[in-house]
Chain A
Amino acid sequence: MAVVEHVAASDAPPVRPAPPGLLRRVCRDRTGAVALGVVALFLLLALAAPLIAALYGKNPTEHYGQNAPGLLSDGGLPIAPNGGISGEFWFGLEPGLGRDVFTQLLYGIRTSLLIAFASATVTTALGVLAGVAVGYLGGITDRVFGFLSNVLLAFPTLLLLLALSPVIQSRLVDPGTAEPEWMQFLVLVLVFSAFGWIPLALSLRATVRSLRERDFVQSARAMGAGGFHVVVRELLPNVRAQLLVHATMAVPAFVASEAVLSFLGVGINEPVPDWGRMISRGSEVFRADPTYMFFPGVALLLFVLAFNLLGDAVRDALDPRAAR
């Protein structure tokens, strides 16, 4: 025994556990690397927004066009061509109020990301809890959950989000009093969380149901492991990849949903900068000043596309069979 051990130790190079290496595997794919770069850039811009705005010398709330003459015409449209783009206002001016588009976009990332990350965290936690529990317990719990999710999925998502926001608002805020800023964020996160966990729970339920019958889970149970141990130590590590992919895909979905709600006028209110509301305002004037809608529209497209590509790359890195 001792000899064998000695030989093995001297021959083989010291084996170290491979680094998690997910990042490296994502970056090996060129599309994945670019997507990761764009996402990182957006995150950086969101974090550094006050700093960039200070260096740039503008803020997202001041009505530059109304305060200084020569920027907006009498009709409220920017005088300079292409929506008032100039050395001073990089992305132009907002028609009407005359705010700076660049800083509005910059701070808009923060609004989107804050809501998307919070909603993704809550829905992922709820989805894991429900999916793993239902998949592990099986039986009557499973049937009840199946029926329940059928009912919930029958509801039209967007319409429900539209209709629910005022209902939740009426519960949280007394009529007549102004709604504090953080409350708008909270309402949106609550609305998204109420239904966003179901798809993850459904897919985890299916995975756990098949994992439950596998040998390693059966052996753990045969050795007397309790339900908690099986769930936390045996099942959860095996659904980690699925979870990560879902969370990556959930962020752009929530960013898009938040923008839709704001576009339709039940999301974030003035004066908090928001992309969906910018597009909505841009749609009112887009024949006279298409530039104002162009920037938030393209920013949103880039942002969601980069996150979707990143999600694809993460899935391919974690599950090479899915790559094809």
Chain B
Amino acid sequence: MLSFALRRILQALAVLAAVSAAAFALFYAAPADPARAACGPRCDTGQVAAVRASMGLDQPLLTQYTDYLTGIVAGRDIQDVDGSTLHCDAPCLGYSYRLHQPVTEALVDHLPVTVSLAAGALAFLVVFGLGTGFVAALRHGTRTDRLLSGFTLIGASVQIYFLGYVAQWGLVYTTGLLPLPSYTPPATDPAAWAGGMLLPWIVLGFVNSAVFARLSRSQLLETMDEEYVRTARGKGLGRLRAHLKYTARGAAGPLVQLLGLEAGALLGGAVITETVFGLNGVGRFATEAVEGQDLPAVVGAVLLAACFVVLFVALADLVIAWLDPRIRLG
């Protein structure tokens, strides 16, 4: 297990290094004028020149990239447009000339909202997706199965922004069943936090649970036919106990994998959900950075999201290996 974990972690680190290189190439080398793209539309020629010097765009590309990597590992000094120098601490993802703030700092400010949103939506996704999948598999071929499958297909087809506005209209404005979505730090008022996030959790969780529900249904159906499950049933183990003890474990692999991917993707910022419900998380921050032509902030957000995906996919692989010895030994 330890050697498997080590190999997997090394692989994840290699992917991260490649991701950072790809992001750098895409955003610093590809645009016609990166300094203009970083400084935004309101900068005059002098400011753009200052940004060009500050970002080191007059240096060779390789030097720029190594400077960037050094910043991530050890931090670096950066000059703002007005000439003042400041130190950007260890995971330095660059400096936003629009916000006059290191990108890492800005991202950390927005992270709690996104983490709250992702955690609640994931919890809903697992409970709802697994529940519908399990019931549909148990009642395979019946009307319940068809009904649930149709329901999940609607979830897979509906646009989250449309559902979000409709739900807000029906549950908040018209009937007042739920409070207006908002973010309150859980430390100050847990009840307000849960109440304000409830609708976003449900909407985001429901839309994302469709794929998960379909996969869990087909996985469970497949495993239920396995010899060892039928043996357990034949020995006289009750239906529910047999399925919970044997089927669930056998079917877990692909589900954990999908869950890892979903978790990583959600933590990188749910751009549309945050926009629809007016939550100021990482996704909203990233879209504002794109709109304000704030290149360093965009790259920072992209890298953060990619880190989450790589991290959680690796984590899922470790869980799968722990569940299934064939993988860690094979």
- Cβ-defined contact, A252 with B272, below 8 A: no
| Interface residue ranges of B36-68 to A (CB < 8 Å) | 36-37
In the bound assembly, the distance between CA atoms of A283 and B310 in angstroms comes to 34
Q: Which residues of B contact A252 (CB under 8 A)?
A: 157
In the bound assembly, the distance between CA atoms of A153 and B166 in angstroms comes to 31
At the interface, yes or no: A113 with Cβ under 8 Å from chain B? no
Q: How far is the CB of A305 from chain B (nearest CB, A)?
A: 4
- Cβ-defined contact, A308 with B14, below 8 A: no
At the interface, yes or no: A259 with Cβ under 8 Å from chain B? yes
In the bound assembly, the distance between CA atoms of A312 and B305 in angstroms comes to 31
Q: Select one of B166, B218, B269, B305 contacting A324, CB under 8 A.
A: B218
- Cβ-defined contact, A290 with B157, below 8 A: no
| Interface residue ranges of B142-197 to A (CB < 8 Å) | 153-154, 156-159, 161-162, 165-166, 169, 173
In the bound assembly, the distance between CA atoms of A286 and B37 in angstroms comes to 34
Q: Which residues of B contact A167 (CB under 8 A)?
A: 26-27, 30-31, 37
- Cβ-defined contact, A260 with B306, below 8 A: no
Of A216-224, A229-237, A263-271, the one touching chain B: A263-271
Q: Which residues of B contact A256 (CB under 8 A)?
A: 159
In the bound assembly, the distance between CA atoms of A279 and B166 in angstroms comes to 12
At the interface, yes or no: B5 with Cβ under 8 Å from chain A? no
Q: Select one of A260, A293, A324 contacting B221, CB under 8 A.
A: A324
Q: Select one of A160, A300, A308, A309 contacting B162, CB under 8 A.
A: A300
At the interface, yes or no: A171 with Cβ under 8 Å from chain B? yes
Number of interface residues of A (CB under 8 A): 43
Q: Which residues of A contact B265 (CB under 8 A)?
A: 156
Q: Which residues of B contact A263 (CB under 8 A)?
A: 161, 272
At the interface, yes or no: B290 with Cβ under 8 Å from chain A? yes
Q: How far is the CB of B275 from chain A (nearest CB, A)?
A: 7
In the bound assembly, the distance between CA atoms of A238 and B265 in angstroms comes to 34
- Cβ-defined contact, B306 with A170, below 8 A: no
- Cβ-defined contact, B305 with A159, below 8 A: yes
- Cβ-defined contact, B14 with A171, below 8 A: no
Q: Which residues of A contact B269 (CB under 8 A)?
A: 156, 159
Given A162-B286, A263-B272, A156 and B32 contact (CB-CB distance below 8 Å):
no
Q: Which residues of B contact A175 (CB under 8 A)?
A: 32, 36
- Cβ-defined contact, A309 with B302, below 8 A: no
At the interface, yes or no: B82 with Cβ under 8 Å from chain A? no
In the bound assembly, the distance between CA atoms of A312 and B19 in angstroms comes to 34
Q: How far is the CB of A15 from chain B (nearest CB, A)?
A: 35
- Cβ-defined contact, A162 with B22, below 8 A: no
| Interface residue ranges of B116-130 to A (CB < 8 Å) | none
- Cβ-defined contact, A264 with B302, below 8 A: no
In the bound assembly, the distance between CA atoms of A159 and B16 in angstroms comes to 17
Residues of A within 8 A of B (CB): 147, 150-156, 158-160, 162-164, 166-167, 170-171, 175, 252, 256, 259-260, 263-266, 279, 282-283, 286-287, 290, 293, 297, 300-301, 304-305, 308-309, 312, 324
9 closest cross-chain pairs (CB), A and B: A156-B305, A297-B162, A305-B157, A304-B157, A154-B306, A151-B18, A170-B32, A156-B268, A154-B309
